[in-house]
Amino acid sequence: MEKCENRCATLGLKSNSPSPLKEPLEVADRLVAENNGRHYEIVDSILQQVEAKRTERKNKVFEKMDVLGKRLEETKISGKSGRGTSADMRIMLLGYRRAGKTAAGRIILGDDNLHLGHSVVSVKADAHVSGRHVSVVRASEWSREQLLCDTAELTKQEITLSLTLCPPGPHCILVVLNLKLKFSEVSRRAVQEHLELLTEDAWRYSMVLFTCKEDLADATIEQYIESEGKPLHWLIERCGYRYHVLNTKSRDERQCRELFEKIDCMALGTDNGHFKPESGISSKLEDRRREEIERAEARRLAVQKQRQELQEKLKQVMS
């Protein structure tokens, strides 16, 4: 308030007043009078610096998108000739809570009744889509700004074990982000740390998937990315400028066909066409998972025994 020299006005967004802007305009008129009719002038040097940075970033993105666009056309051509696309597609959804993974999975598989809801463990669902067998694995999740050091061991194990649900490995790891939720630097670190549980090589098979496209209104996804800060720019670049956006209120099949084409395009630039987990990691994690289950069962039995003993003592006291 002091920095604004105590200038303020209120505006009722749900007011039925015939002139809701009366007070703000009066304050604005006084401000103009105090400045003798002058307006704020943009410093040309600052404007040029901002415009130069924006142009540099746009050119960098466009160069990457041109390369990806050419690969996408190659994928379409090879698909028409019967080469370059596999009969099945394996997709892993990775992201924080409320990112929109369940909605994305149901749209991709074309079935609202598939069980991909919130679960402590990773879950899998399958469907035949556009003549292909599509498997979607919804990995265990974390809170949006929860770093790896604060994540439960069970969640870490489930994220890694999710790879075993779609052998021999996913064609694509979709890093799911909700457009309605701010992507901060802490959110970025959380995504990086949880994704790299799968090893750093997982970035080569990763793509950012934005949900809630309906909230963009008239803006494009490119304009949204441009308007966001460094954390999102870093993630897009780390994923090789691969991204897609889904309207979670629409069942338009085109948005999924475009996603599949991008995944096929990505597969052209990799050695195996799919992410290959480290050898032996699955058996090690399965052993650790069994140990956790055994410890949990031992705790349950101990609590049950303690309750029975307390009930026996209570009966003795009552008698």
pLDDT tens digit sequence for 239-281: 988 999 999 888 888 898 899 989 988 887 776 788 887 766 6
Q: Give yes or no for a contact between 173 and 275, defined as CB atoms under 8 angstroms apart.
A: yes
Beta-strand pair 123-129/243-245: unpaired
Helix (H, G, I), strand (E, B) or coil at 209: strand
Q: Give the amino acid at 134.
A: V
Residue 232 pLDDT: 94
Question: Residue 202 pLDDT > 90, yes or no?
Answer: yes
Mean pLDDT of the chain: 84
Residue 161 pLDDT: 85
Please give the Cα distance from 6 to 8 (Å, whole number). Answer: 6
Give the confidence band of 80 by pLDDT, cuts at 50, 70, 90: very low
Q: Is the pTM of this model over 0.85?
A: no
Which one is predicted more confidently, 67 or 92? 92
Please give the Cα distance from 305 to 267 (Å, whole number). Answer: 54
DSSP string, 134-147: EEEEE-----TT--
Residue 29 pLDDT: 92
Q: Give yes or no for a contact between 185 and 231, defined as CB atoms under 8 angstroms apart.
A: yes
- Give Cβ neighbours of residue 244 (< 8 Å, ≥ 6 apart): 174, 207, 208, 209, 210, 255, 258, 259, 262
Please give the Cα distance from 192 to 96 (Å, whole number). Answer: 12
pLDDT tens digit sequence for 207-235: 999 999 888 888 888 888 888 889 999 99
pLDDT tens digit sequence for 27-67: 999 999 999 998 888 888 888 888 887 777 766 666 666 66
Give the helix ranges, DSSP H, for 133-252.
Answer: 153-161, 185-195, 221-227, 230-238
Angle (nearest 5°) at CA 126 between 104 and 293: 90
> Where are the domains positioned within the chain?
61-71+85-268
Residue 83 pLDDT: 41
Q: Give the phi and the psi of residue 255 in degrees, each rounded to 5.
A: -65, -30
Tell me the CATH class for 61-71+85-268.
alpha beta
Q: Give yes or no for a contact between 155 and 147, defined as CB atoms under 8 angstroms apart.
A: no
pLDDT tens digit sequence for 133-172: 999 999 999 999 999 999 998 899 889 888 888 888 899 9
